[in-house]
Amino acid sequence: MAHPVMFSDDDPGLAELRAIALVLPGAQEKVSHGRPTFRAGKIFAAFGGSEKLSPGNHRQVPSALIFTPEPVDLPSLDRDPRYFVPAYYGPFGARAIDLDDPEVDWTEIAELVDASYRMIAPKRLVAELDARAS
């Protein structure tokens, strides 16, 4: 049974996230479990999710960006109240931030997506990204 679509193209932050993610080499968008995911082989960013508050109790965050930070960045992200551990992805090192916030720093979001991409994408795609910058 397919999951129902749980987003709309006009959701806060989705267009901006697409613009950031889909310019990366080999990046593709695929709907999985009813939500947009951005992949370069594996998922490097996802839009929308939830936070597990206690067993059986989740807080829905439909405009969340879920990403995989570098492990060295986890302590600072965990101290920042804007970030949370997303359900399902969190045990694998992912963190999330709600994009439905007028104070969102899109430069910071682009840096998070870039770092997540570099953690997940194949080396040849990361090399292609680096070649673009030179």
Residue 56 pLDDT: 85
Q: Is residue 47 classed as helix, strand or coil in its secondary structure? A: strand
Residue 115 pLDDT: 98
Q: Is residue 66 part of a domain?
A: yes
Please work out, in degrees rounded to the nearest 5, the angle formed at the alpha carbon of residue 50 by the alpha carbons of 26 and 95. Answer: 55
Q: What is d(CA 9, CA 21) in angstroms, rounded to the nearest whole number?
A: 15
CATH number, domain of 22, equals: 3.90.1150.30
**Considering its fold, how many domains does the chain have in total?**
1
Q: Is residue 69 part of a domain?
A: yes
Q: Is residue 7 part of a domain?
A: no
Q: What is d(CA 74, CA 101) in angstroms, rounded to the nearest whole number?
A: 22
| Owning domain of residue 84 | 14-126
Q: Which two tokens stand for residue 22?
A: 């889909």
* pTM of structure: 0.95
Residue 118 pLDDT: 97
Residue 52 pLDDT: 87
Q: In tens digits, what is the pLDDT along the chain, a chain of 134 residues?
A: 688 999 999 999 999 999 999 999 999 999 999 999 999 999 999 999 999 888 889 899 999 999 999 999 999 999 999 999 999 999 999 999 999 999 999 999 999 999 999 999 999 999 999 999 88
**CA 134: distance to chain centroid?**
26
